[in-house]
């Protein structure tokens, strides 16, 4: 069985970006949320990976919340 460190060596930022909207541009996030909503999803989880939790909350409040 592979260790987690070995498994994640195969995952690049580009691969993640293809599946999960990442980065400071709110449009891809909003698009994916609206797609999920239109498909019937009624619960979503938003998560910040990293130390800048305050920055994430500010981004959510200024860029995402009102658009949804």
- Tens-binned pLDDT, residue by residue, of the chain (68 aa): 568 888 888 888 888 878 888 878 999 999 999 999 999 999 998 888 888 999 999 999 999 999 98
CA–CA gap between residue 28 and residue 8 (Å, rounded): 24
pTM of the model: 0.70
Domain region containing 59: 4-67
The structural domain count of the chain equals 1
Tokens 């019937």 correspond to 40
CA–CA gap between residue 24 and residue 63 (Å, rounded): 9
44 φ/ψ angles, rounded to the nearest 5 degrees = -130, 155
The pLDDT assigned to 13 comes to 81
């Amino acid at each position: 069985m592979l260790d987690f460190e070995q498994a994640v060596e195969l995952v690049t930022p580009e691969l993640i970006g293809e599946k999960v909207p990442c980065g400071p541009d709110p449009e891809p996030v909003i698009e994916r949320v609206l797609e999920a909503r239109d498909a019937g999803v009624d619960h979503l989880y938003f998560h910040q990976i990293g130390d800048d939790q305050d920055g994430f909350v500010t981004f959510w409040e200024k860029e995402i919340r009102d658009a949804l």
